């Protein structure tokens, strides 16, 4: 079987669909290279002195792990100098990161969650990097946070890397979803899955059950029906899977179906959910929709939500279409 590299794939995709200009290709390649570097750090673990807490807090008020800080730096440094970006935004930083004046300013803006699933770092469970690419508004001279306030439907590319037994890069540029596996000996990304599709029907769900007592009625009803199994209204037995790393949970759903949920709950009614719209929900929603699935906040399509602030949070229901539509319907009732 002929091996297709990430670069070859991007060049051929541009010829076919005319949707990956050279500067976007360069951007994707640089992000992929940064993910390779992060993967190397992850693989070293305790040997590289990257485990444990950095004893700092990020803008979300979460204690940062050393690897959170390292991954953030790797992505910033890799993407600053190439001339393809106008600005970056990271889940780990309070405000945007404009490209320093000594470098040319490009036409794209990059958002990322440098390391998703931090609670899994120290126990050697799959973690990942999520990224989203937007086009800078026409005539923008000095990028501001406001320039990033674009609905997810305007993303030109989205993807994630998952650092597991194999390191994989899952990518969409708006024409389906493809998966590349890192050949560690050669140091190259090789296309290993083309046109990934999420099965419409599923018997698996993914949610943090420890929060059950706080859920609102639509989610309580939906999960209760699943738990009743064959003798309940759904007339089939469901399995629960929860890795507590969104990248790993979504990667499983992409491969074998299922629904991933992080609903809003009654603990803090002022906080509409835990996941960040710009760094997690939007890129994952684009990938899931491109693979034939659905992604909502319980009311409507995630990709249609107009962002109001950089670190906005949203409830998330994504995965197999029929299940997402069902639980969204329960919210409407």
Please give the annotated binding residues, written as ranges: 91, 113, 115-119, 208, 274, 280
**Domain residue extents for the chain:** 6-193, 204-332
Whether residue 57 is predicted with pLDDT greater than 80 in this model: the reply is no
Convert 217-226 to b/e letters by CB count within 10 Å (16 or more is b). Answer: ebbebbbebb
CA angle 325–331–333, rounded 5-degree value? 100
Taking a C-beta distance cutoff of 8 angstroms, is the pair 160, 249 a contact?
no
Mean pLDDT of 67-82: 94
For residue 60, pLDDT beyond 70: no
Which residues are documented as binding site for substrate?
116-119, 208, 274
Annotated binding site for Mg(2+): 91, 113, 115-116, 280
In angstroms, the CA 130 to CA 309 distance is 19
Q: How far apart are CA 314 and CA 274, in angstroms?
A: 7
- Which residues make Cβ contacts (< 8 Å) with residue 154, sequence separation at least 6? 134, 135
pLDDT digits (tens, 9 = 90+) for 298-325: 999 999 999 999 999 999 999 999 999 9
Q: Is the pLDDT of residue 150 over 70?
A: yes
Q: What's the whole-model pTM score? A: 0.96
Q: Write down the architecture of domain 204-332 according to CATH.
A: 3-Layer(aba) Sandwich (3.40)
Q: Provide, rounded to the nearest whole percent, the portion of the chain with pLDDT above 90.
A: 85
The DSSP secondary structure of 96-156, one letter per residue, reads: -EEPPTTS---SEEEEEEEEE-GGGGGGT--EEEEEEEEEPPTT-SS--GGGG---GGG-S
Other Cβ atoms closer than 10 A to 295: 25
Q: What is the pLDDT of residue 121?
A: 85
Cα-Cα-Cα-Cα dihedral sign, residues 242, 248, 253, 259: positive
CA–CA dist 114, 46 (Å, integer): 19
Give the tens place of pLDDT for each residue, 168-189.
Answer: 999 999 999 999 999 999 999 9
Protein fold of 6-193: Fructose-1,6-Bisphosphatase; Chain A, domain 1 (3.30.540)
Residue 49 tokens, joined: 């002195």
Neighbours of 228 (CB within 10 A): 14
pLDDT of residue 310: 96
């Amino acid at each position: 079987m002929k091996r297709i590299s990430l670069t070859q794939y991007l060049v051929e995709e541009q010829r076919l669909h005319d949707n990956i200009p050279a500067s976007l290709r360069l951007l994707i390649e640089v992000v992929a290279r940064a993910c390779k570097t992060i993967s190397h750090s992850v693989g070293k673990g305790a040997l590289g002195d990257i485990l444990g807490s950095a004893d700092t807090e990020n803008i979300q008020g979460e204690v940062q792990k050393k690897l959170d800080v390292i991954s953030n730096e790797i992505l910033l440094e890799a993407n600053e100098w190439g001339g393809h970006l106008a600005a970056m935004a990271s889940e780990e930083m309070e405000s945007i990161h404009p490209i320093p004046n000594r470098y040319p300013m490009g036409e794209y803006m990059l958002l990322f969650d440098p390391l998703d699933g931090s609670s899994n770092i120290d126990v050697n469970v799959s973690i990942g990097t999520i990224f989203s690419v937007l086009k800078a508004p026409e005539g923008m001279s000095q990028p501001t946070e406001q320039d990033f306030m674009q609905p997810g439907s305007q993303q030109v590319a989205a993807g994630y890397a998952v650092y597991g037994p194999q390191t994989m890069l899952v990518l969409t540029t708006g024409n389906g979803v493809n998966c590349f596996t890192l050949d560690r000996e050669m140091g190259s990304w090789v296309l290993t899955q083309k046109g990934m599709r999420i099965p419409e029907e599923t018997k698996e769900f993914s949610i943090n059950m420890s929060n059950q007592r706080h859920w609102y009625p639509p989610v309580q009803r939906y999960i209760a029906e699943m738990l009743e199994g064959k003798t309940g209204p759904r007339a089939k037995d469901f399995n629960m899977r929860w890795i507590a790393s969104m990248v790993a949970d979504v990667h499983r759903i992409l491969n074998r179906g299922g629904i991933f949920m992080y609903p809003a709950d009654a603990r803090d009614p002022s906080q509409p959910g835990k996941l960040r719209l710009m760094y997690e929900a939007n890129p994952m929603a684009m990938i899931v929709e491109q693979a034939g699935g659905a992604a909502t906040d319980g009311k409507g399509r995630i990709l249609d939500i107009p962002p109001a602030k950089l670190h906005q949070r949203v409830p998330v229901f994504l995965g197999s279409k029929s299940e997402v539509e069902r639980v969204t319907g329960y919210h409407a009732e």
